Structure formats: structure tokens, C-alpha cells
Amino acid sequence: MLESNISLKPFNTFGVPAIASNYLKITQEHQLQELFDSHGFPAPNLTLGGGSNVLFTKNYSGCVIHIQIKGIQHFIEGSNIYVTAGGGEIWNDLVWYCVDRGFGGLENMALIPGTVGASPVQNIGAYGAELMSYFHSCRAFDKQNGEFVTFNNQQCKFSYRDSIFKTTYKDRFIITSVTYKLSLNHQINTSYGAINQELQKRGVSSPTIQDVAEVVSHIRVEKLPDPSTVGNAGSFFKNPIISREQHDQLKEKFQDLVSYQVDASQFKIAAGWLIEQCGYKGKTFGQVGVWKNQALVLVNQGQAKGIEIYQLSEEIAQSVYNKFNITLEREVNIL
Ligand code: FAD
Ligand code: EPU
């Protein structure tokens, strides 16, 4: 049922106020087809999942289409497991559905907020794993032609925090379900960050996928603010990728620069380090601020408006550019 003048404050993890002119909850994929067939799609429209990667800077004068399609199924073929989940399933619930059954692959991405339907959009990733390694296919509704289409892994053109759904097909498809290809013979990956350290602390020498999911969840809770108490959307910016030449010049000037080699000619720079060097970490500016344990996370101190968070992000990006000659690109979708 189409509703009018709905508050989006409970539907975005920044917890900023915004009103949607129209709002529609979708619990079954056939509702999308019916909507298209009856009146054509309302325009403009915005597909919303958990609202954990959006920043509303103003009211939304269109129709918010809130995806709440549920259901998880799997089938096993040899040592491969194909798990299909509705676009509105909570990502972390899917992770634990898999962990509880011994299906390996998603455990390093435990506790990432948001929905299954959004997971391919920016090719979510954390703690040494990326969705693209486990994504098999997704089913999506084409708002332009009114039909369902299946995308395989290659067609999604995944790369770091990017996919075809953010570029060529931005705002065109609504992802209604995703199928992941997991394994019963999965090789556990504990190489990133503090995972090994935390396993050692717990006296775990042969970790299971459950141990990895638990440890990753623990590290995340320590480092990142919980959106239910402090509004945020995780990393506000992407980690920038720069040329080897620029990297080497910076490294000479800033010996403690935090960087990772991507390939022979490119390096990824820790944006959190860049922002910290500009003096923003843990700082508060009225109702907005920069998280004390992670400078890449901008926070709502309680009563922030979206535009104030956006303005802080502009100031930070300018400051990083002035000091390092690096342009930060936002990860969060600005509306
Ligand atoms: P939304 O915020 O609702 O939407 C995000 C974008 O996807 C929008 O452009 C929206 O239009 C589109 N979209 C949503 N659903 C669909 C759909 N069904 N079909 C088509 N388009 C859709 N991300 C990481 O990758 N790694 C992390 O470690 C990580 N940590 C985070 C920690 C915190 C505390 C928070 C708050 C966020 C974090 N994020 C992280 C970002 C966020 O969790 C992911 O981007 C997540 O996939 C967003 O899911 P969502 O359902 O909330 O999407
Ligand atoms: N660092 C600092 N200061 C800071 C933050 C980070 O110096 O305030 C440096 C440290 O050296 C640290 C390094 O940066 O070791 C990396 O930090 P971290 O492990 O926290 O990872 P990140 O690069 O800041 C990325 C993702 C996160 C993901 C983590 C863990 C991006 C934009 N962010 O953060 O994803 O959870 O790695 O894998 O790639 C998100 O996308 O919303 C998100 C939270």
C-alpha cells in the first residue's frame, strides 16, 4: 500500500530526519511487476534496504521502495552449496544461517549492517573477504522494461566497493534475491588485521568458521559505533587508490603512511590514516563528529541534520586534498 509523508529517520542508520513524499513496502517480488503493470513505476523512486549506506541531506520528494522480501534456501551439490536469500533478508542473519550449517565463505563479513539485496551493489567487504568471491548470481527487477533479469558474477563487474549497479545500471534494477556459492571445504582466512591476535587471546589454535565469525564480530564492535546508539554509516569514504609514483613520493614525505599494494602500479591508502593526520579523529563539531576509534566514520551526535554531516565530509575531503593531494571519494550514497 502506497503511504504518504513517511519519516525516514527510523530507516537510515545515520538517524537523520527526512520525509519521503511516498513510501511503499515490498514483501513479495510479484508486487514489483504489479506496480509496473498497473501504473508504471512511480518516478523518481529510491530502493532502500537497511539504510546503512545512505545519507539523506533533504526530504525525499519521490517514492521510497523499501525492500523487505524474506526467505533463505540452500542446496548442496558435491562440496558446493548454493544459498539463495531474499533481498530484504538481514545480511548478518544470512551469515549466521551459513555459519551454523558449516557453509564457509561469508564468516569474515559477519556483522556488516544492511540487507542481502544491497550486498552486491557496492560489493561489500571486510576483514580480508569480498562479496564478489562468493556471489553466484542475483535476480533483479528492471524498472525500465518491467521484467526480471538474472545477473551472473561477471556481468556485475565487481571491483573494490563497486559494481554495475553503481555505474551503468545505477538506479535501474531492484535486486530481489541473491544466490551465493559457498563451500564445505572452505579455507579459513585469518590473515587480516587483528583476527589472529584475537584468536590467540582466546586460545583458539584451529579456528572454525564460527570462531572467525565471532572474532570478526567482536573486533567490529570494539572499533565501530553501534548505529542504534550513535548514528553512522560505517566508512564514509572509500580507501583511495593511487599510482605507485604518487605513493612513493608520499611515502618519502610521510614515512608512516598506511598503504597496501594493489598491483604492480597501484597502491590503496588507508583513508582513516589520512583523516587522522588532518586532526579530525575523535573531534566533535556541534551535532556531528568523527568517531574516536576510526577516523573514516562520521557520526551523528544525536540531533544532526544530514546536510551538516555532508558539510563535515566536504571539509574533511578538502583538508585531505590540501595536505596529501589525494581526492577522497564518498562510499555513502548521498541523497
Ligand atoms: P541501503 O543503505 O539501504 O542502500 C545502499 C545503496 O544500495 C543505495 O544506493 C540503495 O538504493 C541501493 N540498494 C539497497 N537495496 C537495494 C536492492 N535490493 N536493489 C538494488 N539496490 C539496492 N560496508 C562494507 O562493505 N563493509 C563493511 O565492513 C561495512 N561496515 C559498516 C559498518 C557500519 C556500522 C555501518 C552502519 C555500515 C557499514 N557498511 C559496510 C556499509 C553498509 O553496511 C553496506 O553498504 C550495506 O550493504 C548497505 O546495505 P543496506 O541494505 O543498508 O543498503
Ligand atoms: N587507520 C588509522 N586511523 C584511523 C583508522 C585507520 O591510522 O582512524 C589505519 C590503521 O593503520 C589501520 C588501517 O588504517 O590499521 C586500516 O583500518 P581498518 O582495519 O579499520 O580498515 P579501513 O581500511 O579503515 C576498511 C573498510 C571497512 C571494513 C574494514 C575491515 C573501506 C572504505 N572500509 O576500513 O568497511 O570493515 O576495512 O576490513 O574499505 C565500510 O565500508 O563501511 C566499512 C566499515
Nearest to 213 by CA among 105, 108, 104, 325: 108
In the predicted structure, residue 215 carries a pLDDT above the cut 90: yes
Residue 180 CA to its chain's centroid (Å): 17
Kindly indicate the confidence band of residue 193, based on its pLDDT and cuts at 50, 70 and 90: confident
- Is the beta carbon of 54 within 6 A of some atom in ligand 1? yes
> Cell 612513493 belongs to which residue?
248
Output the nine-digit C-alpha cell for 55: 545519507
Q: Which of 100, 69, 108 is CA-nearest to residue 85?
A: 69
pLDDT tier at 179 (50, 70, 90 boundaries)? very high
Give residue 311 CA to ligand 1 midpoint distance, Å: 21
Q: Is 232 in the pocket of ligand 1 (CB under 6 A)?
A: yes
Does residue 39 have a pLDDT over 90?
A: no
Q: Which of 27, 45, 53 to mutate to test the pocket of ligand 1 (most atoms within 8 A of CB)?
A: 53
251 alpha carbon to ligand 1 midpoint, in Å?
33
Using a 10 angstrom Cβ sphere, with 0-12 exposed, 13-18 middle and 19 or more buried, the burial of residue 262 is: middle
Residue pLDDT, tens place only, 230-282: 999 999 999 999 999 999 999 999 999 999 999 999 999 999 999 999 999 99
CA angle 323, 329, 334 (to 5 degrees): 130
CB atoms within 10 A of CB 186: 18
H-assigned helices in 204-299: 209-223, 244-253, 271-277
194 C-beta closer than 6 A to ligand 2: no
Placement of cell 557496492 in the chain: 122
Query: What is the pLDDT averaged over residues 167-179?
Result: 97
Task: Report the run of H or E that residue 322 belongs to, with start and end.
Answer: helix 306-324
Give me the pLDDT at residue 180, please: 98
Query: Which residue, judged by its Cα, is nearest atom 34 of ligand 2?
Result: 235
Catalytic annotation, residues: 161, 235, 331
Contact 42, 22 (CB under 8 A): yes
Q: Specify the residue for cell string 568471491.
A: 133
For 262-272, how does the pLDDT look when each residue is reduced to its tens digit (9 = 90+)? 999 999 999 99
C-alpha 325/C-alpha 335 separation (Å) is 27
What gap in Å lies between CA 304 and CA 181, rounded to an integer? 41
| Preceding amide of 44 cis, omega within 30 | yes
What's the 153 CA to ligand 1 centre distance in angstroms?
19
Q: Which atom of ligand 1 is nearest to the CA of 224?
A: 34
Cα–ligand 2 centroid distance for 272 (angstroms): 6
Whole-angstrom distance, CA of residue 274 vs CA of residue 267: 14
Which pTM does this prediction carry?
Answer: 0.97
Among all ligands shown, which has an atom nearest to the Cα of 90?
Answer: 1
Alpha-carbon separation of residue 248 from 35, 77, 244 (angstroms)? 54, 48, 6
